[in-house]
Amino acid sequence: MKLEGTTLDIYQVTDELGRGGMGAVYRAVQLSVDRPVAFKILSSEFAENEKFQKRFALEAKAMARMNHPNIVQLYDFGESGGIIWMAQEWVPGHTVEHVLESEGAMEPEEAAAMVAQACEGLGYAHGQGVVHRDVKPANMMQGKDGNIKVMDFGLAHASHWEEPSLQSDEGARFATTEYAGPEIWDMEREPDHRVDIFALGVLLFEALTG
């Protein structure tokens, strides 16, 4: 599905930024206020599956509850022409994954500052009852100003969700193996905020060693 050059609702899609397990992210412009946004869509192969629709909507609900400088902000959520989408804050910069791949190991002070900011964002999320469950360098943006923002809550669990079938959804446990705490794979219990702390420890080790 190619969306470049199309208009969905009040958003003009310009170019594709990347693809993940459930969808793709594009750069777009909110026409009403000429604001750049990151425009995330649910892939067509999942868009007709009710469970994936609900999970995408729950990601939007989780993000809508949060307002923190170290978490990417949700602007809008909707459906247009059979395409389910969310418009998020556009962060000029690169993923931490890109930074580590291109620059190698960080200096200790830089690595500590990065993880400290991620801790601020995730600590806030945990206070809102949201566990990310897929913390990794690809899910963090480093802005040109050096600010770190956690993004992609597609596998998150929130204690306030009223969908029991999704709270312990095995399909939501496809975390990235290298960063996943052992509790992720234990289907007898629900992973809590400690899996995010575990993943941050792995990320810090990677940042320090390359």
CA dist., res. 9 & res. 22, Å (int): 21
Work out the angle between the directed axes of helices 108-127 and 194-209 (0-180°, nearest 10): 170
Neighbours of 102 (CB within 10 A): 8
Given the residues 9, 15, 34, 134, the one annotated as active site? 134
**What are residue 140's DSSP bridge partners?**
150
CA angle, 118 as apex, 61 and 202 as ends, to 5°?
110
15 annotated active-site: no
CA-wise closest residue to 49 among 13, 22, 85: 22
Positive or negative: CA dihedral 120, 210, 142, 58: negative
**Residues with a known catalytic role:** 134
